[in-house]
Amino acid sequence: MAITGEYVPSKAQWVRDQVEEFEASDGQRANTLPGTDDPIVVITNLGAKSGLVRKTPLMRVERDGTYVAIASKGGAPEHPEWFHNFVAHPEVDLQDGSVKKSYRAEIVEGAEREDLWQLAVDTWSTYASYQEKTDRQIPVFKLTPID
């Protein structure tokens, strides 16, 4: 894991609680979306402006070692805060269960976006309803392992 520095927990209590329990159990607890069996990962990233360490639980969307992060914010009209972090500082750390690795995040477009968007919707169908709620095209990040 490459990201170090001062950690600033989320403003949202449920996110703080989930990340704390996930990390305390090495990814064995709090590893699903609260109230569901849908798996999540925790992505450590740097704040776009502050440079401080942030931790973001996101739905687990993965294919052949490459992960996908969907900047849906539940279909809100604006991008989630972490979107700007990934753009400003594309090197992130991802923990899936007990496995921790570094990745490079990049926004994908065109056919690659469509392919990874479909993978995300197939993994967690709620993404499709989020797209219906907003006029913006929800950004799709491909997270490629850094060797």
Domains in the chain, number: 1
**pLDDT confidence of 2, banded at 50, 70, 90?**
confident
pTM of the predicted protein model? 0.96
Phi and psi based region of residue 10 (left: phi greater than 0; alpha: psi -120 to 50; beta: remaining): beta
Give the start-end residues of each E strand in 21-136.
Answer: 40-46, 53-59, 62-63, 66-70, 91-96, 99-107
Question: Using alpha carbons only, what angle is made at residue 26 by residues 24 and 29, rounded to the nearest 5 degrees?
Answer: 75
Position 147 scores a pLDDT of: 76
Domain membership of residue 6 (yes or no) is: no
User: Has residue 82 been placed in a domain?
Assistant: yes
Q: Could you report the per-residue pLDDT of 16-45, keeping only the tens digit for each?
A: 999 999 999 999 999 999 999 999 999 999
pLDDT in tens, 66-120: 999 999 999 999 999 999 999 999 999 999 999 999 999 999 999 999 999 999 9
Report the alpha-carbon angle 7-35-123, nearest 5. 85
- 2 occurs within a structural domain: no
Q: Give start and end residues of each alpha helix (H) in 25-141.
A: 81-88, 110-123, 126-133
The Cα 35–Cα 130 span in angstroms is 19
Task: Please indicate, yes or no, if residue 87 is contained in any of the structural domains.
Answer: yes
H or E stretch at 17: helix 13-24
CATH number at residue 39: 2.30.110.10
Q: Report yes or no on 30 lying in a domain.
A: yes
Any domain includes 79: yes
Q: Residue 5 falls within a domain, yes or no?
A: no
**pLDDT higher than threshold 90 for residue 64:** yes
Domain carrying residue 70: 13-145
Specify the pLDDT at position 1.
58
Whether residue 105 lies inside any domain: the answer is yes
